[in-house]
Amino acid sequence: MMNTGRSGGRDGFLKRHHVAFVLPYQAVAIPVVLVTTFASPFRSGPCTPNLDVFAYLLDSIVTIVMLGISTIKLIFKGRPHLLAFVINAIALGILILLNFVRR
């Protein structure tokens, strides 16, 4: 049997589509932001930012950077980076919508 250089299974899919870091990060970060935003112990007061603001800002910055990197890779390296771009774009869309729901 000839080795094609691609590993099978789920790990092979993630590596082939360049989402081995993007998908696990967004799968953890978005629920953490949702929990800290809507759980009352983490809510900020009128004058004191709390864990909800910190988690939202940190995840927003990281997601914007990851989306920028995904965009550059999609432009210069092509279609294999499309899935990472879509995941980051959806995560940024969720964060933007969450900003309007928080108020």
- Which residue range(s) make up the domain with 46? 9-102
- At 63, list the tokens: 């997601």
> How many structural domains comprise the chain?
1
pTM confidence score: 0.76
Q: Taking phi first (over 0 means left), then psi (-120 to 50 degrees means alpha), and beta for anything else, what does residue 82 get?
A: alpha
Other C-beta atoms lying within 10 Å of the C-beta of residue 32:
14
| Residue type at 1 in one-letter notation | M
Say if residues 52 and 42 touch (Cβ distance below 8 Å): yes
Summarize pLDDT for 35-64 with one digit per residue, the tens: 888 887 877 777 878 888 888 889 999 999
Residue 1, domain member (yes or no): no
Residue 26, domain member (yes or no): yes
Question: What does the mean pLDDT of the chain come to?
Answer: 81
How far apart are the C-alpha atoms of 1 and 55, rounded to whole Å?
A: 49
Residue 3, domain member (yes or no): no
Residue 4, domain member (yes or no): no
